[in-house]
Every structure is written in C-alpha cells, then in structure tokens.
Amino acid sequence: ARTLVLESGARAITIDAIALASGAPKGSLYHRFASLNDLLAEMWIRAARRAQVQFVAALDQPEPMAAALAAACSLYDFAGAHPGDARLLAAMRREDLIESPLSPDLTAELDGLNRPLERAFAGLARRLFGRATRSTVEATVCAVSDIPIGVIRRHLIAGTKLPVDLRGQLEAATRAVLLEAGANTGPGR
C-alpha cells in the first residue's frame, strides 16, 4: 500500500489496487480496515511512531547540544534507513489524515501522536536554554525538527538518495540556529 501511495498519491489508490498489488484478498482488507482512510492513517501512524522512537532515543545524550544534534541527525538517518516510511511522512500530512473520515480510535491516536514529541521538545529546550518558554521551545523545534525536515524533504519527494555531505550540513545548521538563540553549550543542566 505504501508503494502505491508513493507512486500514485494517497487519493489515487483504492482497496482494489492494494489487493491487486499485495495479493491480499479484498475481503481481508475490508475486514481489517474500516475504510481506505483508516488503512492510510494506520500506515502513516506506524511510520511516524518509528521515526519518533528514533528521534527520542537520540536525545539520550548527556550534553544538551550533543542531544540536539543527534536528534536532528536522527531524521536524516531515519530517512536513509527507512526511505519508504520517510517518503510517506513527507507526502502525507497528519492534518490531512485528521480531516478525513476515520474511525474514532484512529482519530484519537492521531490527536495524541505528537504528545511525546512535545514533551521531548520542552525537555530539550530546558536542557539547552535553562527553561522551556514559548521562545526556547520554538527555537528548539526549528533547529532539531523544522530544519532537518526541510533539508531532507525535497529528496524524499523526488525519491532520490540523500547526499552524504548533507548530514554534516544539517548538523552545522542545527548548531548555528541553537547558538544564535543562546543555547547552552556546556554540560547538561
């Protein structure tokens, strides 16, 4: 299903096309998923959770700047290791899924999906800046999430391999944004 979404777009696929491509009986797909929207949402949630686990694990560094750089680079690393999942996340937005008709359980799951990231961003902001204010959390999100996503997105959409030197450039950009915002460069607080 993921390959069909990436090749044809989310709204161009059907349960029939997925059944044909996967060899799964159409009835089994309808039994497992209440709708095509539910199938797409579950596929996207699975990819998002995989990326989140890697991102949060990267924060487990004693030095705040090292944690920030590891987290930012984890998005590059995830895209390299799991290009299909990364491309799916780049091609479909969480907001688009929330706006489509979904089962109540999936709607609730999407609503809470980013809470672990919100806590991680606030915790990292505290470590980097000594406090988690709107401004410090925004600087943290910009540096460790927005920049990495922006750097890798065009390659994901195009389906091209990430350039090797892009990782170092990403790390430098992340560091520069955090230093400009006044991040702590010493031991964790």
Task: Parse the chain into domains and list their residue ranges.
Answer: 1-32, 44-180
pLDDT at 189: 46
Residue 41 in tokens:
């949402």
User: In 3-state terms, what secondary structure has residue 41?
Assistant: helix
Can you name the CATH fold of 44-180? Tetracycline Repressor; domain 2 (1.10.357)
Give, for all 189 residues of the chain, the pLDDT tens digit: 666 566 656 566 666 666 666 777 767 766 666 677 888 888 899 999 999 999 999 999 999 999 999 999 999 999 999 999 999 899 887 877 777 788 889 989 999 999 999 999 999 999 999 999 999 999 999 999 999 999 999 999 898 999 999 999 999 999 999 999 999 876 544
Q: Sign of the CA dihedral 52, 58, 64, 66?
A: negative
- Decide if 65 contacts 175 (C-beta within 8 A): yes
Distances (CA, A) of 82 to 30, 45, 50, 51, 133: 27, 14, 9, 9, 33
Using CA atoms, how far residue 16 sits from 5, 22, 28, 165, in Å, is 13, 10, 11, 42
Q: Quick one: CA dihedral 41, 47, 52, 53, positive or negative?
A: positive
CA distance 170 to 146: 11
